């Protein structure tokens, strides 16, 4: 299973319960554990406008309707490529206009007014109007709605103020709402006439449309001739699905596919990184791999113990072992794409001596037993033994417990029956979890954080909002609520002549806007992170 789908499975649980470098001849490999940047010559060749690009992936979508299911396998293919949003995320995580050309926000940060792009047609020929936007947004909240991210869209009303103007009234002020509209599949704009066929034939405004689907084998997209923007660079894109990563790797080596969307395990990189036949493209994601601590468990209720654990873990060593050297050390619940990001990775620098001193001060001079529950994913299975060794070295007697994913959900996440666990928190901008009452790590400062977040979102300026969120980051880091380890990387491998691949995993879409065979993509595209 791909890291992308591992991440989204976790998002499904959270929301259901509480809810590449396309220009130039480069092969991006590993020059250091946290800053891959080495280059070797490869051949791009002449641009081929009638090409077919075949992308290897591992999880076949259960439906093609992203409004019915939160699986990343759906969004990877459909979101941004077939169905579009008013605004979307570029590969660098910036919000960009798509079906909206511009927008205004009221002084109280509670009303958004969008100007809808003129001349846009759905792939079936129907024109896009403000009424389609109103219908799409209202459908999120309609009775019986299956939209997976409803709780992120606190909207009280959506109204058309003309054929190309839409006004959205929020329930409460939020500096996060526009990002949520861009990042999550609730933001897709659909043709009201085609709701009945979303599961098998989604009709959208994107650069591609779906032409065929072979169950558990492939999904084929072709260029949308009615697309309002520059024509898609590849005529066809095929997503080809493999149940075995080794088979997928072999398919790339034999030329059956030209892209592997995201390598399942870092060890696979060694097959491709030194060959001029391939490009290994690494970039950040929203994934925050952490040693989650149950703050209500005896010793872990003591902040000194939690800080000791943070000092006892060597993040660079963990990145090397669990992620093949790819990844960025993490110090709190924030990644560089967040506007409120703070690099706090040096707050608890690796220092076993200091960890031991803190344990003595906390009254645990002889240590204590700690069970770390590991879900069945490579990053957790690989990190677990090293974490156990590091914590054992300071006197914490670690036992590793391996569980299957359904049991992790029911036992750890839902039941809170755990002491510590290794998990990738993949939600974008999920700092709100620290203000959520009853959240599974049982942080005692939840109520205060909730008030701090609410005050920040009500702030009159974005600068004040950022300052408020950074104050929360400092607070939870000082409390060492969890031991944040590293930012999970996206690792994409392509044949050397493939261009226009997204260079990060900040969105769930594998954005095909600029993908193609040969040639160079525009300066604008490279600036955006393709």
Domains of the chain and CATH, by start: 84-199 (3.90.76.10), 284-488 (3.10.105.10)
pLDDT of residue 377: 84
Instruction: Render 239-298 in DSSP notation, one character per residue.
Output: EEE-S-HHHHHHHHHHTS-SEESS-SSGGGGGGTTT-TTEEEEEEEEEEEEEEEE-TTSG
- Lookup: tokens for 498: 């493939």
pLDDT of residue 225: 97
3-class secondary-structure state, position 36 = coil
- Torsion sign across C-alpha atoms 247, 249, 253, 256: positive
Asked if 506 contacts 293 with a C-beta cutoff of 8 angstroms, the reply is no
pLDDT of residue 265: 75
Q: Of 104, 99, 85, 101, which Cα lies nearest the Cα of 128?
A: 99
Asked if 505 contacts 286 with a C-beta cutoff of 8 angstroms, the reply is yes
pLDDT of residue 26: 24
- Lookup: tokens for 444: 């005692």
pLDDT of residue 43: 56
- Residue 211 neighbours by CB distance under 10 Å: 13
Per-10-residue mean pLDDT of the chain, 530 residues long, equals 39 35 26 35 76 94 91 92 97 95 91 97 98 96 84 87 96 90 94 96 98 96 97 97 91 96 81 93 93 98 98 97 91 95 97 98 97 93 97 98 92 94 90 94 97 92 95 98 95 96 92 96 93
Helices 462-478 and 446-457 cross at an angle (nearest 10°) of: 170
pLDDT of residue 154: 82
- Lookup: tokens for 163: 């054929």
- Conformational region of residue 144, where left means phi above 0, alpha means psi within -120 to 50, and beta covers everything else: left
Structure-token match 């000791």, residue found: 308
Stated length of the chain: 530
φ/ψ of residue 101, rounded to 5: -85, -25
- Conformational region of residue 344, where left means phi above 0, alpha means psi within -120 to 50, and beta covers everything else: alpha
* Rounded Cα gap, residues 247 and 238, in angstroms: 17
* Rounded Cα gap, residues 18 and 179, in angstroms: 20
* Rounded Cα gap, residues 412 and 485, in angstroms: 19
Specify the DSSP class assigned to residue 128. P
């Amino acid at each position: 299973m791909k890291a992308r789908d591992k991440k989204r499975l976790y998002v499904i649980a959270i929301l259901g319960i509480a809810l590449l470098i396309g220009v130039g001849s480069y092969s991006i490999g590993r020059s250091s554990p946290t800053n891959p940047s080495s280059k070797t010559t490869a051949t791009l060749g002449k641009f081929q406008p009638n090409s077919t690009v075949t992308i290897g992936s591992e999880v076949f979508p259960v439906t093609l309707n992203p409004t019915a299911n939160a699986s990343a396998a759906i969004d990877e293919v459909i979101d941004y490529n077939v169905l579009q949003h008013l605004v979307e995320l570029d590969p660098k995580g910036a919000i960009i206009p798509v079906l909206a050309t511009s927008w205004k926000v009221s002084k109280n940060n509670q009303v958004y007014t969008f100007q809808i792009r003129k001349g846009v047609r759905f792939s079936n020929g129907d024109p896009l109007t403000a009424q389609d936007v109103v219908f799409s947004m209202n459908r999120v909240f309609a009775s019986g709605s299956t939209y997976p991210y409803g709780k992120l869209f606190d909207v009280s009303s959506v109204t058309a103020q003309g054929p190309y103007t839409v006004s959205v009234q929020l329930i409460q002020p939020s500096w996060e709402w526009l990002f949520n509209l861009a990042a999550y599949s609730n933001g897709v704009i659909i043709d009201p006439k085609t709701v009945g066929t979303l599961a098998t034939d989604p009709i959208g405004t994107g650069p591609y449309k779906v032409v065929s689907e072979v169950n558990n084998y492939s999904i084929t997209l072709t260029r949308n001739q009615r697309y309002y923007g520059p024509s898609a660079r590849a005529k066809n894109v095929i997503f080809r699905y493999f149940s075995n990563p080794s088979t997928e790797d072999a398919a790339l080596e034999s030329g059956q596919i030209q892209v592997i969307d995201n390598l399942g395990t870092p060890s696979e990189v060694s097959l491709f990184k030194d060959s001029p036949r391939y490009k290994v493209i690494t970039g950040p994601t929203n994934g925050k791999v952490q040693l989650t601590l149950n703050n209500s468990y005896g010793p872990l209720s003591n902040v000194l113990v939690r800080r000791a654990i943070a000092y006892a873990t060597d993040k660079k060593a963990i990145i090397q072992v669990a992620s093949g050297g790819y990844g960025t050390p993490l110090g709190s619940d924030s990644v560089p794409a967040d506007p409120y990001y703070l690099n706090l990775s040096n707050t608890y620098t690796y220092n076993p001596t200091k960890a031991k001193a803190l344990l003595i001060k906390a009254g645990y001079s002889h240590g204590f037993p700690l069970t770390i529950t590991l879900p069945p994913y490579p990053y957790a299975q690989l990190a677990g033994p090293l974490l156990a060794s590091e914590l054992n070295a300071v006197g914490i007697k670690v036992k590793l417990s391996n569980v299957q994913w359904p049991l992790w959900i029911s036992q750890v996440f839902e039941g809170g029956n755990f002491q510590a666990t290794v998990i990738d928190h993949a939600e974008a901008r999920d700092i709100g979890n620290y203000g959520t009452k009853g959240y599974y790590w049982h942080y005692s400062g939840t109520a205060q954080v909730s008030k701090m977040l609410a005050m920040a979102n009500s702030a009159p300026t974005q600068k004040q909002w950022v300052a408020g969120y950074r104050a929360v980051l400092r607070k939870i880091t000082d409390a060492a609520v969890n031991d944040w380890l590293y930012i999970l990387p996206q690792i994409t491998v392509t044949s050397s002549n493939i261009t226009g691949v997204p260079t990060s995993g900040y969105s769930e879409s594998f954005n095909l806007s600029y993908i193609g065979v040969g040639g160079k993509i525009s300066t604008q595209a490279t600036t955006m992170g393709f």
